[in-house]
Amino acid sequence: MSKRVLVVDDSPLVRNLVKKALNGNSEFCVVGEAANGKEAVDLAQKLEPDIITLDVTMPVMDGLDAAREILKQNSKIKILLLSAMGDDALLSQAQSLGIKHSLQKPFRAEQLLEALRKLLEV
Ligand SMILES: [Mg+2]
C-alpha cells in the first residue's frame, strides 16, 4: 500500500514540486497540503499521514514548532524536513527533537524519492 504523505511548505511552488515528484509513483500518495505549521498540525491530526514533508521557515508557525506538536500527538509520523540555505540552526534544533532526516532545497524529484525511501527504512 502506498504511504500517505502530507506536504507542508509556505511556497506553492515547492508544494507543487513535491506533489509532482510523488504523483505517478505508486509508493507514495499525497493526501493533503498545508502552507504553515499551524495548518500542518491540524491536518496531521485529521489525516494521520505516514509521512510529512515539512518546510522549516514558514509564517504563523515554523516547521520546528509544528514538528514538536505533531510528534507529541502522534510519534509514529515520519518527518522529512525540507530546509533552505541558512536553516542550519533550526536543523540542529530539529535533531534534538529526534528528527534526523532532511533534504536541502532545491532538490530534484529523484533526490526527494530517495530521501523518503530512506526515511521509511528506519
Ligand atoms: Mg518556507
| CATH number, domain with residue 63 | 3.40.50.2300
SS3 letters across 7-35: EECCCHHHHHHHHHHHCCCCCEEEEEEEC
Task: List b or e across 43-63, with b for residues whose CB sees 16 or more CB atoms inside 10 angstroms.
Answer: bbeeeebbbbbbbbbbeebbb
Domain count, the chain: 1
* Residue 35 Cα to ligand 1 middle (Å): 9
pLDDT of the residue at 122: 64
* Residue 9 Cα to ligand 1 middle (Å): 6
* Residue 2 Cα to ligand 1 middle (Å): 27
- Each of the 122 residues of the chain gets a pLDDT tens digit; together they read 899 999 999 999 999 999 999 998 899 999 999 999 999 999 999 999 999 999 999 999 999 999 999 999 999 999 999 998 888 888 889 999 989 899 999 999 999 999 999 999 96
Q: What is the pTM of this model?
A: 0.95
* Residue 101 Cα to ligand 1 middle (Å): 17
Residue-range definition of the domain harbouring residue 32? 3-121
Instruction: Name residues with Cβ closer than 5 Å to ligand 1, which is an ion.
Output: 10, 55, 57-58
